[in-house]
Amino acid sequence: MFMVWLKYAPQQPTSAPVIPRQGTKEVRGPRRVNVVLAAVREYLKYAVSIGSAPTWVIDQLYEVGDGRDLPTEVRGEYGVPHGYAKVRHRLHEPDEPVDRATDEEIVALVRACRSARDRLIVLLMARAGIRRGELAGLRRADLHFVLDARPLGCSVPGSHLHVIRRDNINRASAKSRNSRAIPVDALLMQAHDQYVIERARNAAAADSDFLLVNLFRGRIGAPMRLGAINELISSLSRRAGLQRRIRPHQGRHGFADNVMAAGGKLDELAELLGHDSPLSSQPYLHPSHERLRDAVERVPSPRLFLEGPHS
């Protein structure tokens, strides 16, 4: 009953009973309902632990069993069965495919840019797979756009950039605690060179160590805000005449899809995206119908080789 109430109760408090009928629109989706249920379960577990709620409450929340019906690998040390608990109340959350920005949309965004800085932002997301927070937190020293970075004290070969987690004044931060180096291509290097020339014309931006700074509005020379990147991509989507509004993360999805389409491996993609485990990269694997057809057509047709005089 509580789950039904969560799905249909209005956002504003009301004393009217919640009675869903045919055609009644849900107020909260499965994901939001599950989040509330998780919080309630934790509260009730705490109440049981301090004695303010009876212990049978746990049986109402979890299906408790032992591990004898589980595979040997997960039974515990020396095969001793461990107890486990399965949540009783949880709604199924449908898998939503990760949406990507197509190559055509990225090209349209680049063409809609009115500055070298904006072009660099679009290309860093689409050609390096950088998150919005990582993008706004980049420092100029993080870019090693040289063939040999050893004189800079860096052993990573070839042109690349470093993503490093820091506390930044614009509240931008890398999601992963582990730093990573991302190789870059000639297109990104050219876009960066054009931005360096554009930025050099503004004396107020000279002292900032941040890569991306305000050049046209706001406090000139200050690092770009996270929200400013969202506003930029939305504005470019409208200016390019796209049928939908592109979000910053969709450029990252497009990068991941292109890496896999070019023959990349899952461990390579995980390293490029900054995932601790290759399993975290699996949601980004959303092959197009063209890729699926190509995969099938790459499988050779079976042939029956006859032996003997009639072969």
DSSP notation for 147-194: SB-GGGT---BSSEEEE-----TT----SSSS-EEEE--HHHHHHHHH
Residue 300: pLDDT band (50, 70, 90) is confident
Average pLDDT over residues 72-86: 55
- From 51-55, 270-274, 295-299, the region with the lowest mean pLDDT: 295-299
Is the confidence at residue 288, as pLDDT, over 80? no
pLDDT in tens, 194-244: 999 999 999 999 999 999 999 998 899 999 999 999 999 999 999 999 999
What six digits make up the tokens of 281? 């990269």
Residue in the block written with tokens 């995932």:
275
Average pLDDT over residues 108-123: 97
- From 87-96, 147-156, 219-228, the region with the lowest mean pLDDT: 87-96
pLDDT in tens, 13-54: 777 787 888 888 888 888 899 999 999 999 999 999 999 999
What proportion of the chain, given as a percentage, has pLDDT over 90? 53
pLDDT in tens, 170-193: 999 888 888 999 999 999 999 999
pLDDT at res. 222? 94
Average pLDDT over residues 69-91: 62
Are the beta carbons of 222 and 169 closer than 8 angstroms?
Answer: no
What per-residue string of b and e applies to 289-300 under the rule 16 or more CB within 10 Å gives b? eeeeeeeeeeee
Cα separation, 18 vs 15, in Å, equals: 9
CA distances from 223 to 5, 33, 216, 226, 259 (A): 45, 38, 12, 10, 30
Average pLDDT over residues 153-164: 94
Whole-number CA gyration radius for the chain: 27
Is the confidence at residue 76, as pLDDT, over 80? no
Is the confidence at residue 123, as pLDDT, over 50? yes
CA distances from 182 to 100, 127, 138, 164 (A): 20, 10, 13, 11
Is the confidence at residue 98, as pLDDT, over 80? no
pLDDT at res. 16? 78
pLDDT at res. 96? 65
Residue 290 or residue 264, greater confidence: 264
What six digits make up the tokens of 64? 């408790």
Residue 128 or residue 74, greater confidence: 128
Residue 69: pLDDT band (50, 70, 90) is low
pLDDT at res. 78? 45
Is the confidence at residue 79, as pLDDT, over 50? no
Average pLDDT over residues 251-261: 90
Considering only CA atoms, which of 41, 236, 251, 233 is closest in space to residue 126? 251
pLDDT at res. 308? 53
Mean pLDDT over the full length of the chain: 86
